[in-house]
Amino acid sequence: MARRTKAEAEQTREQILDAAESVFLERGVARASLEEIAQAAGVTRGAVYWHFRNKADLFDAMYGRVHLPMQDLFDQVVGLEEGNAIEALRTFCVQSLRCLASNARRQRVYTILFHRCEFVDGLQESNERLIAIRDRWLARMEDLLRREQTRGRLPAEVCPRLAAITIHTAMIGIYFDYLRSPHAYELDAQAFPLIDLVFRALS
Amino acid sequence: MARRTKAEAEQTREQILDAAESVFLERGVARASLEEIAQAAGVTRGAVYWHFRNKADLFDAMYGRVHLPMQDLFDQVVGLEEGNAIEALRTFCVQSLRCLASNARRQRVYTILFHRCEFVDGLQESNERLIAIRDRWLARMEDLLRREQTRGRLPAEVCPRLAAITIHTAMIGIYFDYLRSPHAYELDAQAFPLIDLVFRALS
DNA sequence: CAGGATACATACATTCGCGTTTGTTTGCTA
DNA sequence: TAGCAAACAAACGCGAATGTATGTATCCTG
């Protein structure tokens, strides 16, 4: 059995990505073998190497499946001109946490990113891409905050760049801590009060 | 050459730990081989297996070298009764970041903890210990904040537990983000304004 | 000062995983 | 409706890492 139709091939590709998520999660990226992933997907390593060059390529594709939509949403929120942008940013942060709490795939993928992978050797480039994304986030948030400051929506004594770093690191910290022990949180309920407390610093 | 004196043996143990730090840092814990570590320490794997049961045991010893002193300091700061405890906590946070910025060993070890290890299989127990430490931190900080709230040093509308989580995750986030790209920070200089901004939420 | 225990070095066996190559079937296209 | 190429499966060869077992020289204690 080989040479499936294009649609079937795309389906096995998705199956492999699903399997990679689950195997990376329980075994860690480094200790996960492509053989395990193939078995979990119901195929052989041949199929994996057909769809992906190696483990790093598979990793990138897996993380891209959830990160690209999120980044689009962020760009959309930050880009809008009218209205209270800080409020929009705050809402985005709350929604981001709520989405994390309710979306199992996002939980798995970000748990892998924060707690199940070592960014060395093969994943070095992935890491540099993540850093580049972070820099764009920071720059856009800083612009937003500086703009709002001129409109009197951010206290004059607050440095826009430091505020952007604070919000960014606060989100990172919550993601990290929540994904390390999700049972310690009720994130869906605590998302709003948590972000509310963080944003108290900006008022 | 074998059977060194007790002091010499202790010295090779430290050499192995130093080597583990450096190899874990550049290769990641999972991909680091005990052979590499042994070579970096100028010994053979025999010496490593003599002093440590396996890689996980070595990892625990390495991380204990820097984490235990820090935990003592935290207990000391939180334990004191007289004076403004919130101010003491804020100072502790600033000092913690400054220490991270200036102490190369702390940088290496925490970079490994945050970005170079996967907490699965052998390191599962280490992870559970880290979670237990986190829970103690949180509980003690919550007690401190609740106590200070009765003294009017924390606004009544701020939930002590949420405030504790916020401070904790803020510190985690800064550690994480700084250690991912230290060149993007000037942490020694920014430590105070960063923490100052975070604590604005509590005033 | 003799003997066991210490502090390693060396050697061995085994397992695992990766990348590549080759084989095979079948969808697709000209 | 040939025939090429897609979509895998199966097999190969290789290195690398682990845990253990054994060897050995020296410290240290009674």
Residues in A 54-73 whose C-beta is less than 7 A from nucleic strand C are 54-55
Q: Which of A41-45, A70-74, A108-112, B136-140 has the lowest mean pLDDT?
A: A70-74
Model confidence pLDDT, tens digit, residues A166-191: 999 999 999 999 999 999 999 999 99
* DSSP code per residue over chain A: -----HHHHHHHHHHHHHHHHHHHHHH-TTT--HHHHHHHHTS-HHHHHHH-SSHHHHHHHHHHHHHHHHHHHHHHHHH--SS-HHHHHHHHHHHHHHHHHH-HHHHHHHHHHHHS---SGGGHHHHHHHHHHHHHHHHHHHHHHHHHHHTTSS-TTS-HHHHHHHHHHHHHHHHHHHHH-GGG--HHHHHHHHHHHHHHTT-
Interface contact flag, A28 B118, Cβ < 8 Å: yes
Q: Is residue B92 scored above 60 in pLDDT?
A: yes
Question: B65: buried, middle or exposed (CB in 10 Å: 19+, 13-18, 0-12)?
Answer: middle
The predicted pLDDT at position B76 comes to 86
| Residue A81 C-alpha, separation from nearest chain B C-alpha, in angstroms | 26
pLDDT band at A199 (very low <50, low <70, confident <90, very high): very high
Of B72 and A155, more confident: A155
Exposure string (b/e) for B147-165, b if CB count within 10 Å is 16 or more?
ebbeeeebeeebbbebbbb
pLDDT band at A75 (very low <50, low <70, confident <90, very high): confident
- Find the mean pLDDT for residues B184-189: 96
Of A190 and A3, more confident: A190
As a whole number, the mean pLDDT across chain A is: 94
Of A72 and A42, more confident: A42
Interface contact flag, B118 A31, Cβ < 8 Å: yes
Instruction: Closest CB to B166: pick one of A27, A135, A198.
Output: A198
The predicted pLDDT at position B155 comes to 96
As a whole number, the mean pLDDT across chain B is: 94
Q: Is residue A1 scored above 90 in pLDDT?
A: no
Nearest residue on chain A to B200, judged by CA atoms? A201
How far apart are the C-alpha atoms of B50 and B30, rounded to whole Å?
21
Q: Is the CB of B41 under 7 A from strand D?
A: no
Nearest residue on chain A to B122, judged by CA atoms? A27
The predicted pLDDT at position B2 comes to 66
Interface contact flag, A162 B190, Cβ < 8 Å: yes
- Find the mean pLDDT for residues A33-58: 97
The predicted pLDDT at position A78 comes to 81
* pTM, entire model: 0.94
Q: Is residue B67 scored above 90 in pLDDT?
A: no
The predicted pLDDT at position B78 comes to 81
